Homo-oligomer: A and B are copies of this chain.
Amino acid sequence: MTEPKLNCPLPLNYEQIVMAHGGGGRMMQQLLDKIIRPAFDNDILAQQHDSAIINIPANRLAFTTDSYVIKPLFFNGGDIGKLAVCGTVNDLAMSGAKPLYISCSLIIEEGFAIKDLQRIVQSMRASADEAGVKIVTGDSKVVEHGKGDGLYINTAGVGVIETESSILPNNIRTGDAIIVNSDLGRHGIAIMLQREGMDFASAIDSDCASLAAPVQALFDANIDVHCLRDLTRGGLSSCLIELAAVCGRQFEIREQGLPVRQDVRSACELLGFDPLYIANEGCFVLFVPQSQAGAAIATLQKHSNSQQAVQIGTVSEEHADGRVILQTAMGISRILELLSGEQLPRIC
């Protein structure tokens, strides 16, 4: 890429971010040229213009954004950079789009270690490469010490929709099978154990992963996908409650069929959490006609982060306000409700 040659180069001899790194001057240029652009390096970013110019081979696009404020920045199974790329890639994939381009905007707190920043942008690049996307445009801002928390990252993403069908909550139909690709609750529990200093003996790592490949595999296998949704903040329950409300139907879920690892279940009991409301970063729910459930599950199980794919329930009937019913292991049915707030703050 073309490096702009500055009039008066100054060595980047800081170990920590200072306010001047956000000021539009030489120090900001150097931070971009030495730390950030080399990590993301690609032909589009190298244009160094106010926007990235991208060529899109179709006219139906998906466009999404998320800001990431996770604490801690580094956790078992990932870091905020991996999360910021995978999270936005997954939002595109959930709309049936093939993720193509990502933006990266950093809000850095004064005093943040530059080596940590470097590690994080390199992690973003690695995750982008794995998901087949390019980081093509970005921004960085610096805020005073005490006005941030190390680093917040925003990513936006653009993808192209190659399928003819629309992947939307309103496409959910009575009789659809409800499938999840993976075991539930690992991300939130991994973060929580780490925050509480309880991760020393734990093998629970976040499920943080790109879901672009298993979703693409569903399309390639001609599965008639009605809806997809990743199970982030609020976990499986919040996701299903929201989808049931939008499509105006009742979902019935069998507690016994829910894939939750024993160590995650134990940690939830210890900490007083319900795994159905715990955030995930590599799980999604899938609605397909019941006749295609077996094929969809078999397709998913070929992918490393979807080997636990399993049907967990059914869309049973229309229901004006939407409703999610959990049939417990004891044979009791209960209506799932949105939590008021959250079990775990800042897990994404």
Contact = CB atoms under 8 A, between A and B. Distances in A.
Interface stretch (A136-144, A173-181, A265-273): A136-144
Contacts of A26: 338-341
Chain B CB within 10 Å, residue with most, of A97, A107, A335: A107
Interface of A: 2, 4-8, 10, 18-29, 47-69, 90-92, 94-95, 97, 101, 103-107, 136-139, 141-144, 146-149, 152, 154, 156-159, 161, 166-169, 229-230, 232-235, 238, 241-242, 245-246, 279, 320-323, 335, 337-343, 345-346
Contact of A335 (B7, B103, B233): B7
Contacts of A20: 340-342
Nearest to A8: B337
A64 B137 contact: yes
Nearest to A149: B147
Contacts of A161: 53
B5 A50 contact: no
Contacts of A340: 10, 20, 25-27
Contact of A105 (B65, B101, B138, B323): B65
Nearest to A3: B245
A306 to B, nearest CB: 18
B67 A51 contact: no
Given A143-B346, A338-B26, A342-B24, A56 B59 contact: yes
Contacts of A141: 67-69, 346
Given A65-B105, A65-B139, 17 more contacts: A7-B335, A7-B337, A8-B337, A24-B234, A26-B340, A51-B91, A53-B61, A53-B95, A63-B136, A63-B156, A65-B137, A66-B139, A67-B105, A67-B139, A67-B154, A141-B346, A144-B345
Contact of A25 (B24, B320, B339): B339
B23 A345 contact: yes
Label chain A's interface by main secondary structure.
mixed
A320 B5 CA distance: 9
A58 B49 CA distance: 20
A335 B24 CA distance: 18
A22 to B, nearest CB: 7
A279 B340 CA distance: 43
A73 B125 CA distance: 33
B337 A232 contact: no
Contacts of A2: 246
Contacts of A24: 232-235, 238, 279, 339, 342
A344 to B, nearest CB: 8
A77 to B, nearest CB: 20
A346 B59 CA distance: 38
Contact of A29 (B152, B157, B242, B323): B242
A64 B48 contact: no
A35 to B, nearest CB: 16
Contact of A322 (B4, B97, B338): B4
A88 to B, nearest CB: 9
A27 B95 contact: no
